[in-house]
Amino acid sequence: MIEYFRDIINKYLIGLKRKTNKYNTYLDYVNHQLEKTTDKKRIDKWMNEEWNIKYNGFIDIFQRNMKFIYKCKSAICLGARTGQEVKALIDLGIDAYGIDLKEFPPYTVKGDIHDLAAESESFDLVFSNILDHSLFPELMISEIERILVPKGILIIHLQLLVDHDEYTVTRLYNVKKLLKMFRTLKVVANKNIKNLHDCMDREIVLEKVSNL
């Protein structure tokens, strides 16, 4: 019964539903995510046959958002895995690196989206397409707000319509409610997208407007 009401509250009032009961400890969550990210066969695919497809996809994403990011000099990609999004930013002239639960040199260092090692106000741009892999989205969002400089830009990609895989831990239902969680960022673009290289279907660009 309590579960039922918690689900209703999460889905309709908060706009997302967490699979917190799926894990007994935080380490269980991390290990589950790492199961996929450290899978050698998958890594081989990401690094070889999928590399260019993804790289070109990310070039397209950042180029179409150039009007928001042309002033950005430094960027961090959260949950960057093998780092195609990072390489795309570097090739477009932005000093970037990624973080993920597993490091993938040279583009991605080890880190956790819920506890970023970065200094406050140290990045002009944050990119992430893994909000649905966050066990504590409010924490991830507050970390993003902390590390962005004033007027810094956040680009997030969400998967709202397509079925999620077993590594998704937070199911997003309601973008409006999700956006209410951002306290210092305002939305400057919000549109449906169809990427060639992944299943993300919503792109939201936000700008940091205050330091609460």
Q: Please state the φ and ψ torsions of residue 76, each to the nearest 5 degrees.
A: -130, 140
The answer to whether residue 79 forms part of the interface with ligand SAM (CB under 6 A) is: yes
The answer to whether residue 130 forms part of the interface with ligand SAM (CB under 6 A) is: yes
Interface region with ligand SAM, contact rule CB under 6 A, candidates 17-25, 68-76, 126-134, 170-178: 126-134
The answer to whether residue 37 forms part of the interface with ligand SAM (CB under 6 A) is: yes
Q: Exposed, middle or buried by CB within 10 Å (0-12, 13-18, 19+), for 154?
A: buried
Q: Which residues within the stretch 11-30 sit at the binding site for ligand SAM (CB under 6 A)?
A: none
Q: CB 86 → ligand SAM: shortest distance, Å? A: 9
Shorter beta-carbon distance to ligand SAM: residue 72 or 113: 113
Q: What is the DSSP track for 128-180?
A: ES-GGG-S-HHHHHHHHHHHEEEEEEEEEEE--SSPP-TT--EEE--HHHHHT
Among 133, 170, 178, 184, binds ligand SAM (CB under 6 A): 133
Binding pattern to ligand SAM, positions 93-122, x when CB under 6 A? -------xx----------xxx--------
Distances (CA, A) of 164 to 81, 105, 143, 161, 199: 18, 28, 24, 9, 9
Binding residues for ligand SAM (CB under 6 A): 33, 37, 54, 79-81, 84-85, 100-101, 112-114, 129-130, 133, 198
